[in-house]
Amino acid sequence: MKVVVCVKQVPDTEAEIKWDVEKGVLKRDSMDPITNPFDEFAVEEALLTREKYDCEIYAISMGPERAQEVLRNALALGVNGVYHILDPQLSGSDTFGTAYALAKAIMKIGDVDIVFMGRQSTDGNTGVVPGEVAAILGYTPLTYVSKIREIDFQGKRIVVERAIEGGFEVVEAKLPAVVSVIKGINEPRLPNLMGIRRAAKMEIPKWTCDDLGLDKDKVGLSASSTRVVEISVPPPKAQGEILKGDLDEVAEQLASRLLDLKIIK
């Protein structure tokens, strides 16, 4: 039984976002990196699954050299193995190119029953990669999962709760499946000192486009069907006005403003 968890290194959302307008990509090297917060819940859910069902966990990440940090964190937490998808050709890939590379890596690992992913990344915020990975692999897509109720690896079935507007729904589906989880599904643990030291000494395998047998016409900036052409911060909100006086005076002032704005007649 095998479980794969996809993790991504993203810029710290509290840091200043820097953008390469010409290339249409983030200047990641100039920003402090962190593990995508939603992926932390995915890693924890994979660890909880192993504790209950005794499966193997493999973490994969696609990104530049420094993305190894998120994989070392996964190793420190106790996953069985990690793989780093690293190739200059992949730079600037859109969601499909990313999903395609991740799917090919999952195929290379082989016989994977469940792929855990965070519901979205905090840099792209598209939330479509899990569904695209599932489509490429031919796996069952289960998105916005708030709870794993049951997994039957032998019977190839899984029961989950999905968050929907106003509540949740219970879904029974076939394995293999791609499960994207939401914040609050669990409480991510922290690695201990022994795990951190062990992870620091481990060599992380790297997979290139050739290693994965990728069609290079499907990845990279030139192959991307979507491209960010501009990024900007929202304009500051206009400062509100505080009406002063007793209740009757404030009510009269408010009514006068609403009349001036033609909100009331």
- pLDDT at residue number 19: 58
Distance CA 92, CA 103 (A): 17
Domain 2-223 sits in CATH at 3.40.50.620
The residue ranges of every structural domain in the chain are: 2-223
pLDDT band at 181, cuts 50/70/90?
Answer: very high
Q: What percent of the chain has pLDDT over 90?
A: 62
pTM for this one? 0.81
pLDDT tens digits, residue range 111-155?
A: 999 999 999 888 777 889 999 999 999 999 999 999 999 999 999
The DSSP line for 4-34 is EEE--EEE-TTSPP-EETTTTEE-GGGS-EE
Mean pLDDT of the chain: 89
pLDDT band at 100, cuts 50/70/90?
Answer: very high
Tokens of 110: 């082989």
Closest CA to 23 of 228, 218, 231: 228
Query: Average pLDDT of 84-93?
Result: 92
Q: Residue 32 above 70 pLDDT?
A: no
